[in-house]
Structure 1
Amino acid sequence: MKYVILIHANPDPWGHPTSRYNPEGRALPAEYHEKADREFEALLGELSASGEFVTAEALADPASATLYGWSPEGHLVTDGPYAETKEQLAGFFLIDCETRERAEEIAARFAQPGGVVELRPVMWPGGDDQ
């Protein structure tokens, strides 16, 4: 089953990896980030080797977004960001796992200082929302 891992963060300035650009991450020593980078590369290698990695993308600054809405009078176009919240969607990973437990194990490894990771099953026509 496919799952999306959504990375929410509030880097300032916007940048990736987001943990290097938020207050929590900046408070950590360089050694922490170097170790985290090695562990992340190892995780991506593991997911690629197992066939669980499908795709991933980092997203640009939410301020660069354009929003398209609908109303009976016509389409509405406004500048982003969409959410009026502190954390924004910074990127996503699409994985394909045998079980939800495995997806949860992987998602937990994406947790980072100053960010939130969301795991959500991917829907398909006629599929369950579990």
Structure 2
Amino acid sequence: MFYAILAYHVEEAITALTPEEDAELMTDLLQIHERLYREGALGPAARLGATQDACTLRGPGAGMVIDGPFAETKEQLLGLYVVDCATRDAAIAIARDFRRVNPTAVYEIRPISLYLPGVPLSVTQS
């Protein structure tokens, strides 16, 4: 069985790290990643982009795109998709496709950056 481990943190605390502190944190995390990878327990790992770069698709019909990840507190993150798109609009179009078949869901669209060296994932350059 696969599990998603979603790392929640105070965003300002992470963005306040110096490049050296961030590199030290990543070195520590990569030691765990490498162990899990050797054990065959780790798939792709990604750091979500900044919340200010996120948008949410909600509302009736085709929905309305709202800046930011503003899910209601009664809503929980139940799954995620990683899609390879050249633009934010292309990602929104895919979210609208999901919404067409699941109209009660709310979809947050956020850029991600890979930070696990050696694990291949095709990425479209924008």
Which TM-score applies when normalising by structure 2?
0.44
Q: Which has the higher contact order (CA 8 A, sep 6+)?
A: 1
The structure richer in strand per residue is 1
Which TM-score applies when normalising by structure 1?
0.43
